[in-house]
Structure 1
Amino acid sequence: MPETAEPDSGAAEPVEPDRRKPMMRRIVVVLAPALIYLSIRQLGLLFASWLARENKTPLGDALTSWDGQWFLGIAAGGYDHAPASLADAYGNRLPETPLAFFPGYPMLVRGLASIDGPNGLFSLVTSAFVITIAFGIVAAYGLARLGASIRGGSQYTGWILVALFAASPMAIVLSMTYSEAMFCAFAVWALVGVVERKWWLAGLCCGLAGFVRPTGIALLFAVGLAVAVALIKRRESWRPLLAGLIAPVGLVAYLGWVASRTGRWDGWFALQQRGWDSGFDGGAATWKFSIEALTTGRSVLEVATVGVIVSALVLLLIGFRMRLEWPLLAYAIGVLVMDLGANGLMNSKARLLLPAFTLLIPIAVALAKRRPTTVLGVLAAAAVTSAWIGAYAITSWGYAI
């Protein structure tokens, strides 16, 4: 009988697929928006720390300056007992002056700080920074989702959009005790809801954004138009109508409350006009400021502000040319009209354009088609430029931003 062949002990054993790689990829995909956002913002803080040291300014004071002091003061004492040292742009203080600042951010700061008492882990300042960072991350995930949801978008486009937002010219306020991070988080998710026709998300986030910043008017304009179009075309039944009912709640409630406190229907707008000389003039003051900044050379920050304004207008035109989803363009137009059409503090123009993040989408789409080395080079240059401008604005520039 033939002998039975013994198994070849030297034969290669079956190789089990490495399951770690797909898992690592999933982890990277999940964490990418937060890591991109936080890395760029950390670079901004490093520059701010450097310039603060050079100018002998405590970094903590710089990151809580100007409007940050107002938000912390309202968080500490409410509208009726904010510190008396706080005043408007003219150094005046009336009982209704604090009402110029929307309540969403300071009330949440107060709530977090009160969880474990006055001697607990979360002081008002710590709470403010925690909320700013947390909502910045929420905004980053919303931007990543928006970049993947638009026509011609992708996950890669979304990540680039996150980086561009974190490296915006005045993104330093995303690391300060300001309310921009909170507003942008609500705004981007409201727009995600519009683009993806998740009407409950659009209405809820728009309603919450209205409690945070007056820029909620621009968001309400875009969401309201989208709701109206959906209802006219009868694409959905009751969902857009529900979104349309929820969307204005925050804004209308706060403006109505200020009206009752001041005794006039336009109370909030009157406060802005009286305390900060901020009213709508159709862009006359912005035009005059731009010409003077470019012809007199008064400040590098003022020239940079004009550059931001011009870039925003160019990007809007590019957005129309590339047929960006019209609700995203409507939102950008609303922010531009509110910012550039108002007078008041000209040095705040660049900061007030930060919520117009949909203008960054054309850049993100274009970069997504380039080689990785090109993308990294552009984003690195943007991050360094943003870091320097932001650090200069809060440590070397002597006026409000």
Structure 2
Amino acid sequence: MTDLADPGTPSTPTGPAAADRTKAWRRPAAALLAYAGVRALGLAVLAIWSAARGTSAHTLLTARWDSLWYTRVAEGWYGYRVRLPDGGVHSDLAFFPLLPALERGLAEISPLAAPDAGMVVSWLSSLAAAWALYLTGARLHGHRAGLCLAVLWAAVPVGVVQSMAYSESLFTALAAWALWSVLTGRWVWAGTLAALAGLTRPVGAAVVAAVWIAALLELRRERRGPGARMALGLLLAPAGWFGYVGWVGFRTGSVTGYLDIQGQWGNGFDGGLAFAGFIGEHLRGSVVGGLGLLAGVALVIWLYVLCVRQRQPPALLVYAGVVVGLALCAKGYFGSKPRLLLPAFPLLLPAAAGLARWTPARAAAALCTLAVVSAGYGAWWLNGSGPP
């Protein structure tokens, strides 16, 4: 006689399928736990360092530099301007709206003030970004590479910015998930996330370019036209960036309104001439400082060359190339360039793939060392010049 299962008792999946599903969750969870551990170490060192100096780690994370501007937008929306002694004007229209909108929304439904809401958004966004980085690294080079990529991004020297009420974490999360969607053929998601990235930072144009060029290359390779979902994704991708820039142009009464506002902040694209001059001044004044800047630029370029030699997917190469190009070839406050490079996570893929080939003990030792150095540097940097 054949036994019949009790129809009122749900069956529990067993066998290889259940094991695969469990592994599919455990591996990203391990990457997120490792990422969170590195960032927690950074915050702990920042708290200790700040207490020793008599400064407030909370203030450093939520109420300095650009975070103050985001808070003003969140609390009163746009319209705030500062007139400088030389007659120049700094307008809050330079700051894209998604982060302050999320700050305002979270503050209205929770006990959090807008600055703390911005920090919480960044913390949650950084975890979302680490998840997407893990999936990207694992897809291209295996589980260990994905794990290493998430940890490496947490442990970059300016990784403390990921924990601040800044827009880098939110932008990187949206960009990374948009690129993941391209890699997996989810074009509507890719376009939607690219549009949101375009509402977050000016460099959202890099995500739009990556989505469009990856799609065009796929269509050319397969010699076909875009399907309905791809076409919709391509139409959605630039909507956020063009929507905000167009709104600023309408509000200022000038097609170049956003560029004009950025110019008032001293920002703009000059092909790297101003940055080259800045490096030259350091070479003439402090040779060590100038050589350090040259070494940093050379390292970034070398990492991108490694990405090309690694044959990364076109979406990643285009995205990283545009982010690096805009960061290195824009004028403005040059101390912000390391922060501007933070979203360029594909630059870390060659190192992640290399670490994945090491023994687990050696890779763990290297990553732990980087985490400690990053924590110390971040605490020192944030208590000093910090990210403008």
Same fold (TM over 0.5): yes
Contact 1:142 1:192 in 2 (8 A): yes
Question: Would you say how many aligned residue pairs link Structure 1 and Structure 2?
Answer: 368
Q: Are 2:155 and 1:167 equivalent residues in the alignment?
A: yes
Deviation of the 1:310 alpha carbon: 2.5
Structure-1 residue corresponding to 2:275: 286
Secondary structure of the corresponding residue to residue 269 of structure 2: coil
Q: How does 1:138-217 map to 2 (within 5 A)?
A: 138-150=128-140, 153-217=141-205
Secondary structure of the corresponding residue to residue 125 of structure 1: helix
Q: 1:102 to 1:87 in 2, by over 3 A?
A: farther
Deviations 1:127-175 (A, max 9, x none): 112111111111111011111222xx11211111000111122111111
Q: Counterparts of 1:215 and 1:329 in 2: how far apart (Å)? A: 15
Q: Counterparts of 1:193 and 1:245 in 2: how far apart (Å)? A: 15
Q: 1:89 to 1:177 in 2, by over 3 A?
A: farther
Compare 332-341 and 40-49 and name the one that shifted more: 40-49
Percent identity, aligned pairs only, is: 35
Q: If the length of structure 1 is used for normalisation, what is the TM-score? A: 0.85
Q: Larger helix proportion, structure 1 or 2?
A: 2
Q: Counterparts of 1:98 and 1:323 in 2: how far apart (Å)? A: 40
Deviation of the 1:55 alpha carbon: 2.7
Structure-1 residue corresponding to 2:65: 66
Secondary structure of the corresponding residue to residue 374 of structure 1: helix
Q: Counterparts of 2:21 and 2:95 in 1: how far apart (Å)? A: 45
Q: Counterparts of 2:161 and 2:241 in 1: how far apart (Å)? A: 22
Deviation of the 1:304 alpha carbon: 6.1
Structure-1 residue corresponding to 2:332: 344
Compare 387-396 and 131-140 and name the one that shifted more: 387-396
Q: 1:347 to 1:197 in 2, by over 3 A?
A: same
Deviation of the 1:359 alpha carbon: 0.7
Deviations 1:48-77 (A, max 9, x none): 223222332111221121001111111111
Deviation of the 1:27 alpha carbon: 6.1
Contact 2:129 2:177 in 1 (8 A): yes
Q: 1:102 to 1:372 in 2, by over 3 A?
A: same
Aligned match of 1:251 in 222, 227, 241? 241
Deviation of the 1:270 alpha carbon: 1.0
Structure 2 stretches lacking a partner, 5+ long: 1-14
Q: 1:379 to 1:129 in 2, by over 3 A?
A: same
Contact 1:113 1:122 in 2 (8 A): yes
Deviation of the 1:384 alpha carbon: 2.0
Q: Counterparts of 1:89 and 1:22 in 2: how far apart (Å)? A: 63
Structure 1 stretches lacking a partner, 5+ long: 1-16
Q: Partner letter of residue 272 of structure 2?
A: G
Q: 1:98 to 1:158 in 2, by over 3 A?
A: same
Structure-2 residue corresponding to 1:321: 309
Contact 1:48 1:387 in 2 (8 A): yes
Q: Counterparts of 2:87 and 2:167 in 1: how far apart (Å)? A: 22
Contact 1:33 1:140 in 2 (8 A): yes
Contact 2:324 2:341 in 1 (8 A): yes
The structure with the larger Rg is 1
Aligned match of 1:123 in 113, 116, 119? 113
Aligned match of 2:127 in 115, 133, 137? 137
Contact 1:33 1:137 in 2 (8 A): no
Secondary structure of the corresponding residue to residue 102 of structure 2: helix
Q: Counterparts of 1:57 and 1:264 in 2: how far apart (Å)? A: 43
Secondary structure of the corresponding residue to residue 168 of structure 1: coil
Structure-2 residue corresponding to 1:3: none
Deviation of the 1:305 alpha carbon: 5.8
Q: Counterparts of 1:89 and 1:382 in 2: how far apart (Å)? A: 43
Q: Counterparts of 1:172 and 1:298 in 2: how far apart (Å)? A: 28
Q: If the length of structure 2 is used for normalisation, what is the TM-score? A: 0.88
Two-structure CA RMSD over aligned residues (Å): 2.6
Structure-1 residue corresponding to 2:355: 367
Deviation of the 1:114 alpha carbon: 0.7
Structure-1 residue corresponding to 2:6: none
Contact 1:51 1:392 in 2 (8 A): yes
Deviations 1:3-30 (A, max 9, x none): xxxxxxxxxxxxxx9xxx9998676424
Structure-1 residue corresponding to 2:108: 114
Compare 26-35 and 201-210 and name the one that shifted more: 26-35
Q: 1:257 to 1:327 in 2, by over 3 A?
A: same
Q: Partner letter of residue 161 of structure 2?
A: V
Q: Counterparts of 2:83 and 2:267 in 1: how far apart (Å)? A: 15
Structure-1 residue corresponding to 2:55: 57
Q: Partner letter of residue 217 of structure 1?
A: A
Q: Counterparts of 2:283 and 2:335 in 1: how far apart (Å)? A: 14
Q: Counterparts of 1:264 and 1:178 in 2: how far apart (Å)? A: 28
